[in-house]
C-alpha cells in the first residue's frame, strides 16, 4: 500500500508539472483539483481518513476559487476564509493537515498575483505535498518532512492574514495607495488616446508613470501604452492616459479606479478619442465624428457595486458647450467633422453585418469597445466630457473586406494630425 500510495503521489506531481505549461487560468485550477484527488486516494490507501477529509475540504476551497473566478464574485471571499478555517481545525487531528493547507497558498497567489508566479507557486506547492507524503510513507528524512509541514502551516497562516487584510482595506484604501504612486502630480485636463491615437499632443516637461508602477493589472493591447504622462500645454496641466477595456478581463473595475485617480488628480475636463467602426452608411473611412451621445450595449455599467448607489443624470452626457466649441474650431480649421451617436459593445470581436443593421435601426452612427464607460465615470465625478470617434472602416456589409487591428491602427494614425489641430485649439480655449 505504501508503494502504491507513493506512485499515486508521483502521478499527482506529473499532473502538476504538466499544468505549468497551460495558458488559461481556469485550466490551472482544474489541474489542481485533479492533483488533490490523487492525494486523497493516496491518504485513503494509508487509512489516513482525517487527512483525506482535510484534502476534500481543500478541494472545496479550490472549486470555490474556480467558481469565483468564472462568475466574478469577489465579495464571496469570506466563504474562502470559512473553508480555510475548517482546514485549520482539522489540522490538529492529523499529520496530513498542514500540507493540505498548501492549495490555499497557491490559490491566494493565483487570485491576486500575476500569471507566471501563480503557476510557479502552484508547481512548488505540489512538489511540497508529494515530498512530505513520500517522506512520511517511506520513513525517510522524517525531520525534513516535519520542517516542511511547519513551513506550510506558517505560510498558510500568513496568507490568510493577507487575504483578510485585502478584503478589509476596501477600494478606497487601494485607490489611496495607487494615488500615492503618482508622486504628487496634478492635472486640469485628461486626454484619452484610442487605438492608434495616443500621439495626439506633445507635452512640455513630460513625466511618465506606467500603470504597472501604479499597481494596475491589465492585459497588453496593441496601440495602448498603459501609462500616465504628465506635462503642460499652453500653460494647462495635462495628463495623457490610456483606457482599459471590458474585454480584457470582463470587468469595468479598472476604468472605475482610473477615473477615481483622475478625480483625485483634480481633473475637471476629459477629452477622449476612440477608433470606431462606421455604422452610418454615409460615414467614410478616415472621417472624424464628434460624439453627441452614446448607447451602452456592453451589458454592464462601471458604477455597479459601488456604494452608496447614485443615479447619475445622462441628459447632457457629452457636454453641449464643449461640442459647440469643437464644431466652431473645426469650421475655422476647415476640417470636416461628422456628429453622431456612438455605441459601445463588449468586444473583442468586431461588428457583424447583421449587427450593423441593428445598430442603424436603433440610431447608432459608430461602434467600438469603449467610450461609454469613460463618459459614465466622468459624469459621476461631474467632469466635463467631450469625445471624438475616428471612423476606421465604413459600415460593414457581407461584401466588405476583413477588418484587422493593424488596419484600424493605420487609419487612426492618419486621423491624428487633424485631431491634433482640433484638440490643441480646444485646450487653448478651456
pTM above 0.85, yes or no: no
Taking only Cα atoms into account, the Rg of the chain, rounded to an integer number of angstroms, comes to 27
Give the residue-averaged pLDDT of 85-100: 57
Give the residue-averaged pLDDT of 319-340: 95
Whether 248 is catalytic is yes
Alpha-carbon distance values, 157 to 100, 151, 154, 298 (Å): 13, 10, 5, 40
Whether 298 is catalytic is no
Whether 224 is catalytic is yes
| Catalytic-role residue among 41, 131, 225, 247 | 247
What residues does CATH 3.40.50.1580 cover in the chain? 181-429
Tell whether the model's pLDDT for residue 287 goes beyond 80. yes
Whether 247 is catalytic is yes
Helix (H) or strand (E) holding 40: helix 25-45
Whether 131 is catalytic is no
| Catalytic-role residue among 381, 405, 413, 424 | 405
Contact 278, 395 (CB under 8 A): yes
Contact 104, 156 (CB under 8 A): yes
d(Cα 401, Cα 411) in Å, to the nearest integer? 15
Per-residue pLDDT tens digits for 46-69: 676 666 776 676 666 666 665 665
State the alpha helices, DSSP H only, in 253-312. 253-265
Tell whether the model's pLDDT for residue 197 goes beyond 80. no
What CATH code would you report for 181-429?
A: 3.40.50.1580
Which of 31-40, 244-253, 257-266, 416-425 shows the lowest mean pLDDT across its residues?
31-40
Q: In the predicted model, what is the mean pLDDT of the chain? A: 77
| Catalytic-role residue among 5, 130, 393, 412 | 393
| Catalytic-role residue among 198, 248, 260, 355 | 248
Give the residue-averaged pLDDT of 348-374: 94
Angle at 54 between CA 50 and CA 55, to 5 degrees: 120
Q: Let me know how long the chain is.
A: 430
Task: Tell me: cis bond preceding 399? Omega within 30 of 0 counts.
Answer: no
d(Cα 32, Cα 24) in Å, to the nearest integer? 13
| Catalytic-role residue among 106, 118, 370, 371 | 370
Whether 369 is catalytic is yes
| Catalytic-role residue among 178, 224, 298, 330 | 224
Which of 54-68, 151-165, 283-297 shows the lowest mean pLDDT across its residues?
151-165
| Catalytic-role residue among 39, 96, 100, 245 | 245
- The pLDDT value recorded for residue 125 is 59
Amino acid at each position: 500500500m505504501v508503494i502504491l500510495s507513493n506512485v499515486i503521489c508521483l502521478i499527482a506531481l506529473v499532473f502538476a508539472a504538466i499544468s505549468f505549461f497551460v495558458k488559461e487560468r481556469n485550466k490551472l485550477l482544474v489541474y489542481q483539483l485533479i492533483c488533490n484527488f490523487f492525494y486523497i486516494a493516496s491518504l485513503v490507501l494509508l487509512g489516513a481518513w482525517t487527512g483525506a477529509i482535510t484534502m476534500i475540504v481543500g478541494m472545496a476551497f479550490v472549486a470555490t476559487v474556480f467558481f469565483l473566478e468564472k462568475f466574478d464574485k469577489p465579495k464571496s471571499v469570506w466563504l474562502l476564509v470559512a473553508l480555510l478555517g475548517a482546514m485549520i481545525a482539522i489540522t490538529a487531528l492529523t499529520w496530513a493537515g498542514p500540507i493540505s493547507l498548501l492549495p490555499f497558498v497557491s490559490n491566494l497567489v493565483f487570485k491576486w498575483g500575476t500569471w507566471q508566479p501563480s503557476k510557479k507557486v502552484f508547481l512548488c506547492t505540489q512538489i511540497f505535498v508529494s515530498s512530505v507524503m513520500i517522506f512520511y510513507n517511506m520513513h525517510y528524512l522524517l525531520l525534513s518532512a516535519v520542517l516542511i509541514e511547519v513551513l506550510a502551516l506558517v505560510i498558510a497562516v500568513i496568507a490568510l492574514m493577507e487575504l483578510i487584510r485585502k478584503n478589509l482595506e476596501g477600494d478606497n484604501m487601494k485607490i489611496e495607495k495607487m494615488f500615492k504612486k503618482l508622486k504628487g502630480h496634478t492635472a486640469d485636463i485628461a486626454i484619452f488616446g484610442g487605438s492608434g491615437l495616443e500621439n495626439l499632443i506633445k507635452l512640455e516637461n513630460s513625466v511618465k508613470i506606467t500603470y504597472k508602477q501604479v499597481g494596475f493589472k491589465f492585459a497588453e493591447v496593441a496601440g495602448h501604452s498603459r501609462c500616465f504622462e504628465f506635462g503642460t500645454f499652453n500653460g494647462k496641466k495635462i495628463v495623457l492616459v490610456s483606457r482599459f477595456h471590458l474585454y480584457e478581463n470582463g470587468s469595468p473595475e479598472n476604468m472605475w479606479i482610473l477615473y477615481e485617480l483622475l478625480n483625485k488628480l483634480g481633473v475637471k475636463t476629459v477629452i477622449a478619442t476612440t477608433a470606431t467602426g462606421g455604422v452610418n452608411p454615409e460615414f467614410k473611412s478616415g472621417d472624424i465624428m464628434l460624439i453627441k451621445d452614446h448607447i451602452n450595449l456592453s451589458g454592464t455599467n462601471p458604477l455597479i457595486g459601488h456604494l452608496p448607489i447614485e443615479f447619475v443624470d445622462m441628459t447632457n452626457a457629452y457636454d453641449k458647450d464643449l461640442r459647440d466649441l469643437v464644431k466652431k474650431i473645426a469650421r475655422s480649421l476647415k476640417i470636416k467633422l461628422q456628429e453622431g451617436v456612438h455605441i459601445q459593445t463588449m468586444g473583442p470581436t468586431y461588428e457583424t453585418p447583421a449587427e450593423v443593421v441593428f445598430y442603424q435601426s436603433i440610431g447608432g452612427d459608430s461602434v467600438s469597445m469603449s467610450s461609454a464607460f469613460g463618459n459614465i465615470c466622468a459624469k459621476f465625478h461631474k467632469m466635463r466630457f467631450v469625445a471624438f470617434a475616428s471612423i476606421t472602416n465604413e459600415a460593414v456589409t457581407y461584401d466588405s473586406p476583413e477588418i484587422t487591428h493593424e488596419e484600424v491602427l493605420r487609419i487612426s494614425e492618419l486621423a491624428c494630425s487633424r485631431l491634433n489641430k482640433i484638440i490643441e485649439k480646444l485646450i487653448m480655449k478651456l
